[in-house]
Structure 1
Amino acid sequence: MEIRPIHNERDYKEALQIVSGLVDADPAPGTPDGDHLEILATLIERYEAEHFPVDLPDPVEAIKFRMEQAGLSASDMQPYIGNLNRVYEVLNRKRGLSLSMIRRLNRELKIPAEVLIG
Protein backbone atom coordinates (compact mmCIF):
# COMPACT_ATOMS: atom_id res chain seq x y z
CA MET A 1 0.00 0.00 0.00
CA GLU A 2 1.64 3.20 -1.20
CA ILE A 3 0.13 6.40 0.12
CA ARG A 4 1.28 9.78 -1.08
CA PRO A 5 -0.10 13.33 -1.06
CA ILE A 6 -2.51 14.48 -3.74
CA HIS A 7 -0.73 17.26 -5.62
CA ASN A 8 -2.69 17.65 -8.83
CA GLU A 9 -5.77 16.63 -10.79
CA ARG A 10 -4.15 13.39 -11.99
CA ASP A 11 -3.32 12.33 -8.41
CA TYR A 12 -6.85 13.27 -7.38
CA LYS A 13 -8.51 11.18 -10.08
CA GLU A 14 -6.25 8.23 -9.28
CA ALA A 15 -7.13 8.46 -5.59
CA LEU A 16 -10.85 8.62 -6.42
CA GLN A 17 -10.54 5.50 -8.54
CA ILE A 18 -8.77 3.60 -5.74
CA VAL A 19 -11.32 4.76 -3.17
CA SER A 20 -14.16 3.69 -5.44
CA GLY A 21 -12.77 0.17 -5.58
CA LEU A 22 -12.20 0.08 -1.84
CA VAL A 23 -15.73 1.30 -1.12
CA ASP A 24 -17.12 -1.44 -3.34
CA ALA A 25 -15.05 -4.00 -1.40
CA ASP A 26 -16.38 -2.56 1.89
CA PRO A 27 -13.31 -3.37 4.04
CA ALA A 28 -13.71 -3.60 7.79
CA PRO A 29 -12.31 -0.70 9.83
CA GLY A 30 -8.87 -1.41 11.21
CA THR A 31 -7.86 -3.77 8.40
CA PRO A 32 -5.12 -2.73 5.96
CA ASP A 33 -7.71 -1.97 3.25
CA GLY A 34 -9.94 -0.20 5.77
CA ASP A 35 -7.01 1.97 6.89
CA HIS A 36 -6.07 2.63 3.25
CA LEU A 37 -9.62 3.79 2.54
CA GLU A 38 -9.70 6.05 5.60
CA ILE A 39 -6.35 7.68 4.78
CA LEU A 40 -7.21 8.22 1.11
CA ALA A 41 -10.61 9.65 2.02
CA THR A 42 -8.88 12.16 4.32
CA LEU A 43 -6.42 13.16 1.59
CA ILE A 44 -9.23 13.54 -0.95
CA GLU A 45 -11.27 15.63 1.48
CA ARG A 46 -8.29 17.95 2.05
CA TYR A 47 -7.64 18.30 -1.69
CA GLU A 48 -11.31 19.06 -2.39
CA ALA A 49 -11.48 21.64 0.41
CA GLU A 50 -8.49 23.45 -1.08
CA HIS A 51 -9.43 23.19 -4.76
CA PHE A 52 -13.24 23.05 -4.75
CA PRO A 53 -14.36 25.22 -1.79
CA VAL A 54 -18.07 25.36 -1.11
CA ASP A 55 -19.47 28.78 -0.31
CA LEU A 56 -21.96 29.16 2.50
CA PRO A 57 -25.52 29.79 1.35
CA ASP A 58 -27.03 33.25 1.44
CA PRO A 59 -28.69 33.93 4.85
CA VAL A 60 -32.08 34.84 3.38
CA GLU A 61 -32.03 31.82 1.07
CA ALA A 62 -31.18 29.62 4.07
CA ILE A 63 -34.17 31.03 5.98
CA LYS A 64 -36.47 30.50 2.99
CA PHE A 65 -35.17 26.97 2.56
CA ARG A 66 -35.83 26.14 6.22
CA MET A 67 -39.30 27.69 5.95
CA GLU A 68 -40.04 25.48 2.95
CA GLN A 69 -38.66 22.38 4.69
CA ALA A 70 -40.77 22.95 7.79
CA GLY A 71 -43.86 24.24 5.97
CA LEU A 72 -43.62 27.62 7.68
CA SER A 73 -45.28 30.79 6.44
CA ALA A 74 -44.13 34.37 6.95
CA SER A 75 -46.53 34.59 9.90
CA ASP A 76 -44.84 31.59 11.51
CA MET A 77 -41.54 33.47 11.42
CA GLN A 78 -42.72 36.25 13.74
CA PRO A 79 -41.35 34.66 16.94
CA TYR A 80 -37.88 34.54 15.37
CA ILE A 81 -37.74 37.80 13.38
CA GLY A 82 -40.42 40.12 14.76
CA ASN A 83 -43.68 41.55 13.49
CA LEU A 84 -44.93 40.50 10.07
CA ASN A 85 -43.73 43.72 8.45
CA ARG A 86 -40.18 43.03 9.71
CA VAL A 87 -40.37 39.41 8.48
CA TYR A 88 -41.18 40.63 4.97
CA GLU A 89 -38.42 43.26 5.13
CA VAL A 90 -35.88 40.55 6.00
CA LEU A 91 -37.17 38.09 3.39
CA ASN A 92 -37.10 40.85 0.73
CA ARG A 93 -33.59 41.92 1.78
CA LYS A 94 -34.67 45.37 2.87
CA ARG A 95 -33.52 44.75 6.46
CA GLY A 96 -30.58 42.81 7.78
CA LEU A 97 -30.70 40.25 10.55
CA SER A 98 -30.04 41.50 14.07
CA LEU A 99 -28.00 39.52 16.56
CA SER A 100 -31.15 38.54 18.47
CA MET A 101 -32.80 37.32 15.25
CA ILE A 102 -29.72 35.27 14.40
CA ARG A 103 -29.71 33.71 17.86
CA ARG A 104 -33.40 32.78 17.70
CA LEU A 105 -33.19 31.39 14.16
CA ASN A 106 -30.13 29.38 15.13
CA ARG A 107 -31.56 28.07 18.39
CA GLU A 108 -35.13 27.39 17.29
CA LEU A 109 -34.85 26.56 13.59
CA LYS A 110 -31.33 25.10 13.75
CA ILE A 111 -30.02 27.32 10.94
CA PRO A 112 -26.23 27.46 11.42
CA ALA A 113 -25.10 30.80 12.86
CA GLU A 114 -22.21 31.05 10.38
CA VAL A 115 -24.76 30.95 7.53
CA LEU A 116 -26.96 33.62 9.13
CA ILE A 117 -24.00 35.90 9.85
CA GLY A 118 -22.84 35.65 6.23
Structure 2
Amino acid sequence: MTVTLNKLEYGALLVDIQPKVITTEEENDRALSIVENLLAEEKLSPEKEQILRLLVSLIEKFEDQHYQLAASTPHSTLIHLMEERELRQTDLVGIIGSRGVVSEVVNGKRPISKAQAKSLGSFFSVDPSLFVNW
Protein backbone atom coordinates (compact mmCIF):
# COMPACT_ATOMS: atom_id res chain seq x y z
CA MET A 1 0.00 0.00 0.00
CA THR A 2 1.49 3.32 -1.07
CA VAL A 3 0.84 6.25 1.23
CA THR A 4 0.15 9.55 -0.45
CA LEU A 5 1.75 12.47 1.30
CA ASN A 6 0.40 16.00 1.47
CA LYS A 7 3.27 17.82 -0.23
CA LEU A 8 2.60 21.11 1.54
CA GLU A 9 2.52 19.54 5.01
CA TYR A 10 5.55 17.36 4.30
CA GLY A 11 7.44 20.32 2.84
CA ALA A 12 6.62 22.43 5.90
CA LEU A 13 7.94 19.67 8.17
CA LEU A 14 11.13 19.42 6.12
CA VAL A 15 11.66 23.19 6.33
CA ASP A 16 10.99 23.18 10.08
CA ILE A 17 13.10 20.12 10.96
CA GLN A 18 15.74 20.37 8.22
CA PRO A 19 16.88 16.73 8.40
CA LYS A 20 20.40 16.05 7.17
CA VAL A 21 23.19 13.53 7.54
CA ILE A 22 24.20 13.53 11.22
CA THR A 23 27.89 14.20 11.81
CA THR A 24 28.10 15.42 15.44
CA GLU A 25 26.81 14.45 18.87
CA GLU A 26 24.83 17.70 19.01
CA GLU A 27 23.08 16.93 15.73
CA ASN A 28 22.36 13.41 16.96
CA ASP A 29 20.91 14.74 20.23
CA ARG A 30 18.72 17.17 18.30
CA ALA A 31 17.43 14.39 16.03
CA LEU A 32 16.79 12.14 19.04
CA SER A 33 14.81 14.93 20.70
CA ILE A 34 12.63 15.37 17.62
CA VAL A 35 12.07 11.60 17.41
CA GLU A 36 11.05 11.50 21.08
CA ASN A 37 8.57 14.33 20.51
CA LEU A 38 7.10 12.56 17.50
CA LEU A 39 6.82 9.28 19.39
CA ALA A 40 4.98 11.08 22.19
CA GLU A 41 2.19 12.05 19.81
CA GLU A 42 -0.82 9.74 19.84
CA LYS A 43 -1.50 9.61 16.11
CA LEU A 44 1.06 10.66 13.53
CA SER A 45 0.06 11.95 10.15
CA PRO A 46 1.59 10.09 7.20
CA GLU A 47 3.89 13.08 6.70
CA LYS A 48 5.16 12.98 10.29
CA GLU A 49 5.53 9.20 10.02
CA GLN A 50 7.84 9.69 7.02
CA ILE A 51 9.88 12.31 8.87
CA LEU A 52 10.13 9.95 11.83
CA ARG A 53 11.36 7.11 9.64
CA LEU A 54 13.90 9.40 7.95
CA LEU A 55 15.27 10.67 11.27
CA VAL A 56 15.51 7.16 12.72
CA SER A 57 17.51 6.08 9.65
CA LEU A 58 19.87 9.03 10.02
CA ILE A 59 20.31 8.37 13.76
CA GLU A 60 20.97 4.67 13.19
CA LYS A 61 23.59 5.44 10.54
CA PHE A 62 25.39 7.88 12.83
CA GLU A 63 25.26 5.58 15.86
CA ASP A 64 26.41 2.54 13.86
CA GLN A 65 29.46 4.51 12.78
CA HIS A 66 30.27 6.13 16.12
CA TYR A 67 29.20 3.68 18.81
CA GLN A 68 30.96 0.37 18.43
CA LEU A 69 29.58 -2.12 20.92
CA ALA A 70 32.16 -4.25 22.62
CA ALA A 71 31.70 -7.95 22.12
CA SER A 72 29.70 -9.38 24.95
CA THR A 73 31.15 -12.16 27.05
CA PRO A 74 29.16 -14.94 28.69
CA HIS A 75 29.98 -13.40 32.08
CA SER A 76 28.90 -9.87 31.07
CA THR A 77 25.69 -11.29 29.59
CA LEU A 78 24.92 -13.05 32.86
CA ILE A 79 25.63 -9.92 34.90
CA HIS A 80 23.51 -7.80 32.57
CA LEU A 81 20.54 -10.18 32.78
CA MET A 82 20.84 -10.38 36.54
CA GLU A 83 20.91 -6.58 36.87
CA GLU A 84 18.07 -6.19 34.40
CA ARG A 85 15.86 -8.51 36.45
CA GLU A 86 17.19 -7.33 39.81
CA LEU A 87 18.43 -10.80 40.73
CA ARG A 88 21.00 -11.69 43.37
CA GLN A 89 23.43 -14.57 43.40
CA THR A 90 21.12 -16.51 45.72
CA ASP A 91 18.47 -16.48 42.98
CA LEU A 92 20.76 -18.67 40.84
CA VAL A 93 21.49 -21.27 43.54
CA GLY A 94 20.07 -24.54 42.29
CA ILE A 95 19.93 -23.22 38.71
CA ILE A 96 23.67 -23.45 38.02
CA GLY A 97 24.95 -25.03 41.22
CA SER A 98 25.64 -24.50 44.87
CA ARG A 99 26.12 -21.14 46.56
CA GLY A 100 29.91 -21.45 46.13
CA VAL A 101 29.69 -22.34 42.44
CA VAL A 102 27.26 -19.49 41.78
CA SER A 103 29.58 -17.06 43.56
CA GLU A 104 32.57 -18.19 41.47
CA VAL A 105 30.62 -17.96 38.21
CA VAL A 106 29.08 -14.56 38.97
CA ASN A 107 32.42 -13.15 40.12
CA GLY A 108 34.15 -14.42 36.96
CA LYS A 109 36.40 -16.88 38.77
CA ARG A 110 34.86 -19.88 37.02
CA PRO A 111 33.69 -20.14 33.38
CA ILE A 112 30.10 -21.06 32.62
CA SER A 113 29.87 -24.74 31.63
CA LYS A 114 27.69 -25.97 28.77
CA ALA A 115 25.25 -27.52 31.27
CA GLN A 116 25.07 -24.25 33.19
CA ALA A 117 24.57 -22.36 29.91
CA LYS A 118 21.57 -24.56 29.12
CA SER A 119 20.13 -23.96 32.59
CA LEU A 120 20.72 -20.21 32.35
CA GLY A 121 19.19 -20.10 28.87
CA SER A 122 16.09 -21.82 30.18
CA PHE A 123 15.94 -19.68 33.32
CA PHE A 124 16.29 -16.38 31.42
CA SER A 125 14.37 -17.56 28.34
CA VAL A 126 17.27 -16.78 26.02
CA ASP A 127 19.51 -18.76 23.68
CA PRO A 128 21.99 -20.76 25.81
CA SER A 129 24.78 -19.91 23.35
CA LEU A 130 24.88 -16.42 24.94
CA PHE A 131 26.59 -18.04 27.91
CA VAL A 132 29.23 -20.02 25.98
CA ASN A 133 32.59 -18.76 24.67
CA TRP A 134 33.09 -19.66 21.01
Measured against the shorter chain, the TM-score band is 0.5 to 0.7
Q: CA separation of 1:77/1:24 partners in 2, compared to 1, >3 Å: closer, same or farther?
A: closer
Gaps of 5+ in 1: none
Which amino acid is the alignment partner of residue 17 of structure 1? Answer: R
User: How many angstroms apart in 2 are the aligned matches of 1:96 and 1:18?
Assistant: 42
Q: 1:48 aligns with which of 57, 63, 85?
A: 63
Ranked by relative contact order (alpha carbons within 8 Å, sequence separation 6 or more), the top structure is: 1
Unaligned runs of 5+ in 2: 1-10
Q: Does 1:65 align with 2:83?
A: yes
1:21 to 1:108, Cα distance in 2 relative to 1, 3 A: closer
SS at match of 1:80: coil
Q: 2:122 aligns with which of 107, 110, 114?
A: 107
1:82-101 map, 5 Å:
82-101=97-116
> How large is the Cα RMSD of the aligned pairs?
3.6
Number of equivalenced pairs: 113
Matched, 1:33 2:36: no
TM superposition score normalised by structure 1: 0.63
Distance in 1 (CA, whole Å) between partners of 2:34 and 2:81 is 39
User: Offset at 1:29?
Assistant: 4.2
How much identity, in percent, do the aligned residues show? 17
- Among candidates 17, 40, 43, match of residue 30 of structure 2: 17
Contact 2:117–2:132 (CA under 8 A) maintained in structure 1: yes
